Amino acid sequence: MTPAGAGAFQAIYGLAEYFSGHQRIFGYVKTRYTEVATGTFINRNHYAGYLEMTLPLTIALAATAISRLRAARADDRGRLAFRAALVLIVALTMATALICSRSRMGIASMTVATVGVGLLLGGRGRGRGYAAAALIVGGATFLVFSQGEAASALLDRFALVFDEFKGAVGRGEIWLQTAAMVRAFPLVGAGLGTFPSVFPAFRTVGEGTFLDHAHSDYLELAAEAGAIGCLIVLAGGLYVILSFARRPAAGETQSHLGYATLTAVAALAIHSLTDFNLAIPSNALTLAVLLGLTLRWARTPALVSAASGDGPIRPTSWSAVPAALFVAAAVAATVPAVAGGVGPGEHAFQSATLLAGPAIGDLEAFLRVHSGDREPPAETGRYLESRIVVAMEVLAEGLRHEPLASDAHLQLARLAMARCAAASLAADEPAYCQHEWMTELRASLDLAPMSTTAYGEVGRLLLAAWPLLDEAGRTEAAPIIERARALNPADQGLRADRAALGSAP
């Protein structure tokens, strides 16, 4: 079973790195989670999630080996006993790797899923062989890690479990902020993959910390796909459950695989309450394989032997259709990456940068050279303004494609300020000039309310423009500058400017 083999490799590789202290992922030197086993994963929880899905499959192989050993003839029992012992050792190694990851939710979800499936099968009078193999692996793992420093390390981790939900960047605050995002996009969500871009607009605490996931697959799904997406996923889950419930009776040996996939899916479903395993491609793909195996097992009461060559050959053309569709989808997904992965919005932002750089540079050079002129040439001001307006139009087009790009709004504010300066040279500065760039600055901060970088940039712009602000503008700018200073206490530019302003703001 390929997933079981991949899980065994992850367990052995992770334990080798953990016990050797080498802590590398092939050629990559780990900088985080160096005190635990993570295999080829960066995050311990994703490593544990993968083992949760593959360990039950290895237990199923051990259960099958034990069942065959019990029914074997005397002369075959030695060979089968060795095979059963070898598979049990591999399963114990995987369980050891799971414990060494010290993923609290990984260990807890695996335990709860195994016990829950055991009770379900026990109530239906099934799964004795699978339960026996799981009991051997679980019991041996408990005996190894229930004493000494290993037990203390695990207990210390579980003792801090409630602290994970506290604080400005604790899961409790993250979930509350994600719930606000769900309420803002209740029907269809903000769009799959948009969480890192949209979520900053709902941050209320935890400045300076970037979060690209909600640390709950269910909440993130609700935020990105809305009620419709959740109903689709729920319908798929019910389809799997009902298929399992309607499964016809079969022999014990043919059922071990189904028990294993059911345990694995249940374990990951529990783990996904507090982590984002399904955002990791390897884990999501493995879950898809397990769901397919579960459905196939639910529909097949017994193992099917390969048909002999004498029977009729079924046409394979219909089987090639979904394969071709998958290949086409893979090619379509690969093309943007090969081409550079630049969408229309990003392309517009890059074009605007190329246009704005020379225009603003010429404006600054002109102001330096003609700073003493009483009446600078109006034609030059209009020319520079026209070049800046072109860059603004290109940037605005990009924002129509990606309206949540905070940096683009900040760049548009800079261009609006430069346009005002160029227009003032021609003595035709619009009355709404200040309102235009202040609006873009507010939009930039609204989309990144916890970003120290965004507040630092906006604060410096407002301090530079302070002499030009009217009373209303200074009233609006003052709290923004103060927050920029609070978020960037080491920024010498903000400190120097504050001293130069004296009492303002």
Residue 385's alpha-carbon distances to 263, 354, 356, 376, in angstroms, are 66, 16, 11, 14
> Under DSSP, is residue 70 helix (H, G, I), strand (E, B) or coil?
helix
d(CA 46, CA 10): 12
- Residue-wise pLDDT tens for the chain (505 aa)? 578 889 999 999 999 999 998 888 988 888 888 889 999 999 999 999 999 999 999 999 988 888 888 777 777 788 888 888 999 999 999 999 999 999 999 999 999 999 888 887 777 667 777 888 888 898 888 888 877 676 777 777 777 777 777 766 678 888 999 999 999 999 999 988 889 888 888 887 776 677 889 999 999 999 999 999 999 999 988 888 787 777 666 555 567 888 898 899 999 999 999 999 999 999 999 999 988 888 877 776 554 444 444 555 555 455 565 556 556 655 554 454 444 445 677 888 888 888 888 888 888 887 777 665 556 677 877 888 888 889 899 999 888 888 888 889 999 999 988 888 888 877 776 777 888 889 999 998 888 887 888 888 998 888 888 888 888 888 888 888 888 888 888 887 777 555 555 544 4
DSSP string computed for 417-454: HHHHHHHHHTT---TTHHHHHHHHHHHHHHH-TT-HHH
Neighbours of 56 (CB within 10 A): 35
SS3 459: helix
What does the pLDDT read at residue 276?
Answer: 92
Pairing of strands 28-29, 24-25: antiparallel
**What is the pLDDT, as a whole number, of residue 113?**
92
- Continuous H helices in 246-308: 256-271, 281-299
Q: Copy the structure tokens of residue 99.
A: 């414990």
Q: What is the pLDDT of residue 418?
A: 87
265: Cβ contacts below 8 Å, ≥ 6 apart: 53, 240, 287, 290, 291, 294
Strand-pair partners of 29: 24
CA atoms of 30 and 164, how far apart (whole Å): 23
Spatial separation of the C-alpha atoms in residues 74 and 84, rounded to whole Å: 15
Q: Is the dihedral of CA 189, 191, 192, 193 positive or negative?
A: negative
The Cα diameter of the chain in Å comes to 109
The domain limits of the chain are: 2-299, 344-501
- Those residues whose C-beta lies under 8 Å from the C-beta of residue 497, and which sit 6 or more positions away, are 460, 463, 464
- How far apart CA 132 and CA 119 sit, in angstroms, is 13
Q: Does domain 344-501 have CATH number 1.10.730.10?
A: no
Other beta carbons less than 10 A from residue 327's beta carbon: 11
Three-class SS of 293-351: HHHHHHHCCCCCCCCCCCCCCCCCHHHHHHHHHHHHHHHHHHHHHHHCCCCHHHHHHHH
- Predicted confidence at residue 483, as pLDDT, reads 85
